[in-house]
Amino acid sequence: MLIRNKPSWHISHAEVTPEPVYLARRQFMAGTLATATALMLPASLLAEEKGLRSLSAAPNPDYSTAETKTPFSDVTRYNNFYEFGTGKGDPARYAHEMQVEPWFVSVEGECARPGRYNLADLINEAALEERVYRLRCVEAWSMVIPWVGVPLASLIEKFEPAPSARYVYFETLHDPAQMRGQRGRFSTIEWPYREGLRMDEAVHPLTFVAVGLYGRVLPNQNGAPLRLVVPWKYGFKSIKSIVRIRFQAERPKTTWEQMAPHEYGFYANVNPHVDHPRWSQRRERRLPSGLLSPNWMDTRLFNGYEAEVAHLYAGMNLAEHY
């Protein structure tokens, strides 16, 4: 007998699982078989990863979690980078339209060495390290990503900030010709994307600037060629494709805080006890996550970096300064 209409629950893995998650699962299965892994990987995925220049970086176990890493395919296909669209797949689809070499960073404000720097002269490739950090998005999903880069403090010291510089401000490239999300009147954000840190947060040893991930240069969708990584704060603080750094006395106006101050604060420290007005922050979906294995877990204060960073906020009411 020919059953024309399968019952609704009779669906294959591929149908219920978002494609990146499905591909990642195949990759994982291949790994457990331990042989001929490459044969089971989708050719396109391999090509994508191989197409990126590799970077050698010394693993830094002191600053790395041993948690299972989120596969390359999820890290590079499920992104927030509104300059290329608001869909999670938009950055992977369109970020190749951005030219990342050469790349210049303007350094301004209260420091002894302002100027327009060529990124190639700012990052010493021999000093690169790998750090495996958790990344917790304010939207309640998270990943574990092996970043390649240097501590932000090592970059900041080159510019010799003045004692009056209490904050560091960052800006992303604003170029509608290369960033389709910045074109037209459909864009919701007032560009460029802006972020900032208090100086003590900026020079904290956990605060990192990434130029790569998974041992390769950063894919454009992840914020090439230079992006911030602040692992104890919600992902929106980790600004991508940085072209401007300014040292200043006043607290900078940052993109999400300006757009919706009741929902997104300047501090944006990961905190399971302070809910977003429209959803709970108590738990998070660790990617890869699918309908059959959503992979929910408890969110930790300061994203699990409490021992390292809690002192920065001693005496502060975290519900008030969210």
**Residues at the contact surface with ligand MTE, assessed by CB under 6 A:** 79-83, 135, 137, 172, 193, 222-223, 235-236, 238-241
CB of 70 to ligand MTE, least distance (A): 9
DSSP summary character for residue 35: S
Which one of ligand MTE, Mo ion, none interacts with residue 79, CB within 5 to 8 A by kind?
A: ligand MTE
Amino acid at site 232:
W
Q: Specify the stretch interacting with Mo ion by CB under 5 A; choose among 6-14, 40-48, 134-142, 183-191.
A: 134-142
**Ramachandran region, residue 110 (left: φ > 0; alpha: ψ -120 to 50; beta: rest):** beta
CA distances from 157 to 12, 41, 83, 161, 247 (A): 54, 43, 30, 7, 12
Amino acid at site 186:
F
User: Based on CB atoms, which residue is closest to Mo ion, 109 or 231?
Assistant: 231
CB of 315 to ligand MTE, least distance (A): 28
Rounded CA separation 192/174 (Å): 5
Which one, of 137, 165, 129, lies nearest residue 264 by Cα? 137
Q: What is the DSSP string of 145-186?
A: EEEEEEEHHHHHGGG-B-TT--EEEEEE---TTT-GGGSSTT
225 binds Mo ion (CB under 5 A): no
CB of 79 to ligand MTE, least distance (A): 3
268 binds Mo ion (CB under 5 A): no
Rounded CA separation 218/132 (Å): 15
Which one of ligand MTE, Mo ion, none interacts with residue 72, CB within 5 to 8 A by kind?
A: none
213 binds Mo ion (CB under 5 A): no
Which one of Mo ion, ligand MTE, none interacts with residue 267, CB within 5 to 8 A by kind?
A: none
Q: What mask, x for binding Mo ion by CB under 5 A, covers residues 73 to 112?
A: -------x--------------------------------
* Binder of Mo ion out of 137, 197, 210, 217 (CB under 5 A): 137
CB of 256 to Mo ion, least distance (A): 9
CB of 263 to ligand MTE, least distance (A): 12
Rounded CA separation 190/167 (Å): 21
What sign has the CA pseudo-torsion 65, 68, 69, 74? negative
CB of 303 to ligand MTE, least distance (A): 12
Binding site for Mo ion (CB under 5 A): 80, 137, 235-236
